[in-house]
Amino acid sequence: MTDSQSLRQDARVIGLVGTSHGVSHFYHLILAGLFPWLKEAFGLSYSELGLLMTVFFVVSGVGQALSGFVVDRVGARRVLFTGQALLGVGALVLASAPSYAVLVIGSFVAGCGNAVFHPAGYTLLNHGVSKDRLAYAFSVHGISGNIGWATAPIFLAGVATLSSWRVALLSASAIPFLMLLVLFLNRAVLPNEATVAKPGAEGGSAFGFLRLRAVWMCFGFFFLTSVALGGIQAFSSTSLVALYGITFATAATAYTTFMLSSAGGMIAGGFLAARAHNHDRTITVAFLFAAALALVLSASVVPGPLVVLVMGAIGFATGVAGPSRDLLIRAAAPPNATGRVFGVVYSGLDTGMSVGPLLFGMLMDGGHPASVFIGVALFQTLAIATAVGAGNSRRAPLAHKA
């Protein structure tokens, strides 16, 4: 294969996997983006709304750890197709929900669909993209996820305002089905089952990677950072309105700026990660900056209109850490265990996202809006220790060999 052919193939794989990842992240917020409508329609508290997201992410977290084994066994492509289909079905259940109980069922189904995307996507990238382009592939992967997060509230709130929350969810259900069609039509470019290594192919235990300290440090990192992210996604807008007296539209703009700036940070972070070796140090600097700004927001000292810029700066710093984080995880993965490692590690993201909305929802019900940003700063600071622990675990064998 020539360099130009290799570049084209890499670009197609990155584009397909990245867009699929964006659909997954869009679905993280199909309920949060409709909280005002759901709260009124069903008479729900913030804690009950947060519980819907908790169901989604608990199911996704457990399923993600399990789906990593399935990816290594049957291949990532087939698993990715299944995930897209389940997202669409989940949205259809939510759109037709006559009661809170059916909303919970819809969250469960959508959570099952979301479970596959990180182990399947990262396996496809690792097997389908040239090694020297992986840092950029991870950057695009992260950017697409942030675009999904950023567009979900705009899309859902826009459709719900013009029509209803049910029409918004029905419209959202078309997105994964269209993505499934695109993936199917381009299936030839995605690594198939014969090119994906099977567990134990080299004689090792399928569960041997669970003994690696770096894997659990990475899991802890995802758990802590996603608790913080869950708070930002679910309640940052409501908190900013309470703290600064700004309109909900301005607060929503601040959240969207956070997500888009995070995508921009991932672009910069991709170039930085391609040249750096100590990825945990990049993460440390970025998260310390983001945590400091979150504390500033919690103190209600920022002039109202400037909260949009501060939220953007927090998002940019968080985004810079993304590609370094993914390369840190890749370094922790033994040969032929990519799906399993990314499945277990990224289940930390879903576990944290299941805790964050419920935790911050209770704090909001208790009348403590500043606690959203205090909690963000706390969990981001704690995450630094896990990133450093993962980095040290990776460097120790290298130092021993030297």
Mean local confidence (pLDDT), 169-192: 93
In Å, how far are 132, 209, 310, 332, 356 from 344, measured between CA atoms?
A: 25, 10, 33, 12, 19
Mean local confidence (pLDDT), 84-110: 96
Please check whether residue 48 is in contact with residue 318, taking contact to mean a CB–CB distance below 8 angstroms.
no
More confident: 366 or 178: 178
| Candidate from 102-116, 255-269, 380-394 with smallest mean pLDDT | 380-394
Beta strands, E only, 79-125: none
Return the ∠ at Cα 283 (arms to 280 and 287), rounded to 5°: 145
Question: Which tokens sit at 187?
Answer: 């299936």
More confident: 199 or 275: 275
**How big is the chain by its Cα radius of gyration, in Å?**
20
Quickly count helices (H) and strands (E) in the chain.
14, 0
Cβ neighbours for 379, distance < 8 A, ≥ 6 positions apart = 224, 225, 227, 228
Task: Show the 3-state SS of 146-209.
Answer: HHHHHHHHHHHHHHHHHCCHHHHHHHHHHHHHHHHHHHHHCHHHCCCHHHCCCCCCCCCCCCHH
User: If you average pLDDT over every residue of the chain, what do you get?
Assistant: 86
Q: What confidence category does residue 349 fall into, taking pLDDT thresholds of 50, 70 and 90?
A: confident
Q: How far is it, in rounded angstroms, from Cα 27 to Cα 331?
A: 29
- How does DSSP classify residue 306? G
pLDDT of amino acid 400:
44
Question: Which tokens sit at 21?
Answer: 């990842």
Q: Which domains does the chain have, with CATH numbers?
A: 3-181+209-394 (1.20.1250.20)
Q: What confidence category does residue 335 fall into, taking pLDDT thresholds of 50, 70 and 90?
A: low
Q: How far is it, in rounded angstroms, from Cα 146 to Cα 293?
A: 20
Is residue 390 helix, strand or coil?
Answer: helix
Please check whether residue 199 is in contact with residue 69, taking contact to mean a CB–CB distance below 8 angstroms.
yes
Please check whether residue 279 is in contact with residue 324, taking contact to mean a CB–CB distance below 8 angstroms.
yes
Percent with pLDDT over 70 in the chain = 91
Mean local confidence (pLDDT), 108-114: 95
- Report the 10 Å Cβ neighbour count for 245: 10
Percent with pLDDT over 90 in the chain = 43
pLDDT digits (tens, 9 = 90+) for 54-85: 899 889 888 888 888 888 788 889 999 999 99
Torsion angle of alpha carbons 161, 166, 172, 174, nearest 10°? Answer: -130
Q: State phi, psi for 200 to the nearest 5 degrees.
A: 75, 15
pLDDT digits (tens, 9 = 90+) for 292-322: 999 999 999 999 889 999 999 999 999 998 8
Q: Which residues of 215-224 are buried (b: 16+ CB within 10 A; e: fewer)?
A: bbbbbbbbbb
Q: How far is it, in rounded angstroms, from Cα 71 to Cα 42?
A: 38
pLDDT of amino acid 399:
44
pLDDT of amino acid 142:
83
Tell whether the model's pLDDT for residue 197 goes beyond 50.
Answer: no
Q: How far is it, in rounded angstroms, from Cα 287 to Cα 322?
A: 11
Q: What confidence category does residue 235 fall into, taking pLDDT thresholds of 50, 70 and 90?
A: confident
Question: Which tokens sit at 292?
Answer: 């400091």
pTM: 0.74
Tell whether the model's pLDDT for residue 361 goes beyond 70.
Answer: yes
Torsion angle of alpha carbons 98, 101, 103, 108, nearest 10°? Answer: -140
pLDDT of amino acid 8:
87
Q: How far is it, in rounded angstroms, from Cα 208 to Cα 72?
A: 14
Please check whether residue 168 is in contact with residue 34, taking contact to mean a CB–CB distance below 8 angstroms.
yes
Mean local confidence (pLDDT), 102-129: 91
Mean local confidence (pLDDT), 370-396: 85
Write the burial class of residue 295 (CB in 10 Å: 0-12 exposed, 13-18 middle, 19+ buried). Answer: middle
Q: What confidence category does residue 206 fall into, taking pLDDT thresholds of 50, 70 and 90?
A: low
Please check whether residue 366 is in contact with residue 212, taking contact to mean a CB–CB distance below 8 angstroms.
no
Tell whether the model's pLDDT for residue 193 goes beyond 80.
Answer: no
Q: How far is it, in rounded angstroms, from Cα 389 to Cα 148?
A: 30
pLDDT of amino acid 191:
77
How many residues are given for the chain? 402
